[in-house]
Amino acid sequence: MGSSVQVKLILFIVGLYCFHGYCYGVEVEVNQTSTLFVNASQASSRAMPETLFGIFFEEINHAGSGGTWAELVSNRGFEAGGQNTPFNIDPWSIIGDQSSLIVSTENSSCFEKNKIALRMDVQCGSEGSDDCPDGGVGIYNPGFWGMNIEKGKSYKVVLYIRSLQSVNVSVSLTDSSGLNELATANIITNDVCNWTKTEVILIPKETNHTSRLQLTTTNPGVIWFDQVSVMPMDTYKGHGFRSQLVEMLIDLKPKFFRFPGGCFVEGLVLRNAFRWKETIGPWEERPGHYGDVWKYWTDDGIGYFEFLQLAEDIGALPVWVFNSGISHQEQVPTANIHPFVQDALDGIEFARGESNSTWGSIRAKMGHPKPFDLKYVAIGNEDCKLKYYHENYLQFYDAIKLAYPDIQIISNCDGSPNEPLDHPADLYDFHIYTHASKLFDINWFDKTPRNGPKVFVSEYAVRGEDAGQGSLLAALGEAGFLVGIEKNSDIVSMVSYAPLFVNTNDRSWMPDAIVFNSFEQYGTPSYWMQHFFIESSGAALLNSTLQTNLKSLVTSAIAWNNDGSSFLRIKVVNIGSNPVNLTISIEGLEENSISLSSTGSIRTELTSGDRMDENSFLEPRKVIPVRSAIDEVDKNMVLTISPFSFTSLDLAIKKLEDQSN
C-alpha cells in the first residue's frame, strides 16, 4: 500500500461455475480490478437507525427449553403427556421392574393448572416381597439428551413430594447408565403427608455431559412427586439463562430482541399456541405446552417474563410477537376477536404497566417492579394472506394505539412492493429464505415506497443446498443482503437473522446462527458474518461508489465511534471465486483537522478454503473472522480481496493534534 493508487491488470481465464442460476466468477475477468470511492465527509453521510441490527429468538430447535433456559429436567411436572391419565411420562424412565414398583400418573397435584403428578408404588421391601436392590428403585430423567453436570459447581434440585408414610429418597446425579454417582443427597422425613416443597444442593465430584437425575428409594410405600427441577446455580445474572449462550448474544450487540416466534406464536392449532398468561408466575404453577409446529413440549420455564428479562439483560429492546387470533389451521373471526385483543393489552400492561397495575403487579411480584422497555409489538406472524388478518389487525391496532400511543406496531403484510398497505402500521414484517445468489443482491428495497411504514426484516437467511448446516457461502449471501440493507436503511429500520439457535439433537430447521449441545456451542459463519455489522446500528452511512464489472462484489462504508475513538469501516463482500484487487480512494476527510492512522487500524476477514466450509463441534473455529493490524493506511490504497470472503477495514481516524506521535 502507498500513497499512489496502484492499478493492477490481471488476466483470468475463468471456468463457468453456476449454482442456482447464478454463476460465480462467470464473466471472463479480463480485469479483476475494481475501485471504491468513499466520501468520508459528514455532510454526505446519513445516520442509520439506532435499532438496525437485532436478533430474533424463537422457541424452535430447542432454542429455549433444553437450550438457553438452563433447566436440566425435561417434563418436570409430568404434564407433557396431557391431562388424561394414565399417560406416557417420557423422558422419565423407571429404575426397577414391575415386581418392585409401579409408576403411574395421577390427577392429584397441588398445582391447579398442572394437575398431573407422578405416583410411585414401591413394592420391594414390603412383607412377602423381595428386598429392594441396593441402589433402590425409582425414576430417572435424562434431561434434554443428557444433562451437563460439571465438577464442583452447585445444582439446586427442587421437588414436591407427598407420602402417607415416612420417606427416605435418594436424589442423585449420575452418569447416563446410572451406575456412577456424581452427587447425591437424601430426603428423609416423616412429615410429607401434604405436598411439601423440598430443596437440596448437589455439588458433583466429576464432570459428565450426559448425566441424569435419579429419585430412588429402598423403602416400600407410595410416594408422589411433582415439579422436579434441577437448575445450575451459575446462570446468567442468576436469571436462569445458560451463560455461554447469552454471552454469544451479547457479543452481537443486538439493539432489539424479537420473541418468542415465528410459527411458535401461531401453533398449528390455537390451543397449542404460545399463551403468555400461562407462562408467567411461579414456575411450578405453569402448565407448559406442546409447541405443535416444532413438535416438542416446553415446560415454559422460559416464559413471557423471562423473554423480557433476557432482552433487558443483553441490552436489547424487546419486540413482542403475539398471536393475532390465527394458527396454521384456524382463524378467529373478527366478531370474536375481542378476548385476543384484551389479552394483548394485558400483556403490554404486564411488561410496562406500573407495579400497582393489575398485570404490572404480577411482574413486580416476579422480581421486576420497574417496567420493561416494551416499545414494539407485532400482530401475528406471517398471517397477512389469511382472511381475517386485516380486520383482526385493525382491532388490535386501534385498541393498542388508544391505550399506548407510543407503541410501534408491526404488521405482517409486506408493503415493499409498489402498493401501499391497506392498513396503518409503523413497520411491516418482511421474511426471506432463499439461495445465496438471490439474497446477495443489494438492491432489495431499492424500489420500496419511501412514504409508507418502515420495513422490519425480521427473518432472513440463505437456506437449502447453498447453506447446508451453515456454510461460508450462506454467510456471504447474507452479507451482501445486509450491505443492501445498510444502503436502504432510510426505509429498512430493523433486521434480524433466523433462526438464532439450534440444539444439535433437534435440527428441525437449518441453518441457524448458534449451534449447541449440552455443554458446548459455536457460531456458524452466519453468526460471525453478523459481527461485521454490529457497529452499524446508529452509525453514519457514508456516500460510496463502487466501480466494478463484477456482480460478485459489493461494498459499503460507514463512520462509527467507540469509547471516544472514531473509525471508518469499509466492508467488502466477494462472493466470486476469484481474488479482486480493490483500489480504495477516500475523499472528504476534513483535511485540516483529521487524518487516517495506522495505529488502531484493523483488517478483519471471514473466509475459508472452500465456500461450503462449515464450523462444527470438531472444528468450531474453522470459519471465523481473522483480525490483523494494518501497517500503513492512506487515502488511496489497494487491497487484495480473497475469493469467497467478507473483509472489513476499520481505519482509525485521528484528530490532527494527535499526529505528533
> Which stretch in 82-90, 187-195, 255-263, 548-556 sits in contact with ligand AHR by CB under 6 A?
255-263
- Report the nearest approach of ligand AHR to the CB of residue 553 (Å): 29
Q: Which is nearer to ligand AHR, 207 or 508 (CB)?
A: 508
Which of 63, 498, 553, 570 touches ligand AHR by CB under 6 A? 498
Residue that has been written with the C-alpha cell 468520508 in this structure:
40
- Position 499 contacts ligand AHR (CB under 6 A): yes
| CA atoms of 233 and 188, how far apart (whole Å) | 24
- Report the nearest approach of ligand AHR to the CB of residue 320 (Å): 15
Look at residue 543 and give its three-state secondary structure: strand
Q: Which is nearer to ligand AHR, 49 or 260 (CB)?
A: 260
- Position 474 contacts ligand AHR (CB under 6 A): no
| CA atoms of 32 and 576, how far apart (whole Å) | 11
- Position 263 contacts ligand AHR (CB under 6 A): yes
Residue 322: φ, ψ to 5°: -120, 165
> Which stretch in 64-72, 138-146, 257-265, 304-312 sits in contact with ligand AHR by CB under 6 A?
257-265
- Position 323 contacts ligand AHR (CB under 6 A): no
Which of 77, 261, 288, 301 touches ligand AHR by CB under 6 A? 261
- Report the nearest approach of ligand AHR to the CB of residue 429 (Å): 9
Q: Which is nearer to ligand AHR, 298 or 581 (CB)?
A: 298
Sign of CA dihedral 266, 268, 270, 273: negative
* 381-400 binders of ligand AHR (CB under 6 A): 381-382
- Position 262 contacts ligand AHR (CB under 6 A): yes
Candidates 322, 372, 369; CA nearest to 352 is 372
Q: Which is nearer to ligand AHR, 261 or 287 (CB)?
A: 261
- Report the nearest approach of ligand AHR to the CB of residue 266 (Å): 8
Residue 212: φ, ψ to 5°: -145, 160
Burial of 469 (0-12, 13-18, 19+ CB in 10 A): middle
How many Cα atoms within 13 Å fall on the side-chain side of residue 31? 10
Candidates 653, 636, 539, 589; CA nearest to 40 is 589
- Position 511 contacts ligand AHR (CB under 6 A): no
- Report the nearest approach of ligand AHR to the CB of residue 54 (Å): 15
Using only C-alpha atoms, the chain has a radius of gyration, in whole angstroms, of 28
Q: Which is nearer to ligand AHR, 500 or 573 (CB)?
A: 500
Region of residue 144 (phi > 0: left; psi between -120 and 50: alpha; otherwise: beta): beta
Which of 57, 155, 460, 509 touches ligand AHR by CB under 6 A? 509
Q: Which is nearer to ligand AHR, 461 or 541 (CB)?
A: 461
- Report the nearest approach of ligand AHR to the CB of residue 459 (Å): 5
First to last CA, the chain: 21
657 Cβ partners below 8 Å, 6+ apart?
none
- Report the nearest approach of ligand AHR to the CB of residue 430 (Å): 11
| CA atoms of 607 and 646, how far apart (whole Å) | 7
| CA atoms of 152 and 146, how far apart (whole Å) | 18
State which residue has the least CB distance to ligand AHR: 262
Please name the amino acid found at residue 486: E
- Position 303 contacts ligand AHR (CB under 6 A): no
| Site track for ligand AHR across 413-452, x = CB under 6 A | ------------------x---------------------
> Which stretch in 259-267, 282-290, 299-307, 596-604 sits in contact with ligand AHR by CB under 6 A?
259-267
| CA atoms of 556 and 573, how far apart (whole Å) | 9
Q: Which is nearer to ligand AHR, 416 or 574 (CB)?
A: 416
Number of residues that bind ligand AHR (CB under 6 A): 12
- Report the nearest approach of ligand AHR to the CB of residue 263 (Å): 4
Spatial contact of 417 and 386, defined as CB atoms under 8 Å apart: no
405 Cβ partners below 8 Å, 6+ apart?
none
Residue ranges of E strands in 397-447: 408-411, 427-434
| CA atoms of 433 and 506, how far apart (whole Å) | 20
372 Cβ partners below 8 Å, 6+ apart?
308, 309, 311, 312, 318, 351, 352, 363
- Report the nearest approach of ligand AHR to the CB of residue 617 (Å): 23
- Position 478 contacts ligand AHR (CB under 6 A): no
Which of 150, 292, 459, 613 touches ligand AHR by CB under 6 A? 459
156 Cβ partners below 8 Å, 6+ apart?
199, 200, 201, 229, 230, 231, 233
Interface ranges with ligand AHR (CB under 6 A):
58, 60, 261-263, 381-382, 431, 459, 498-499, 509
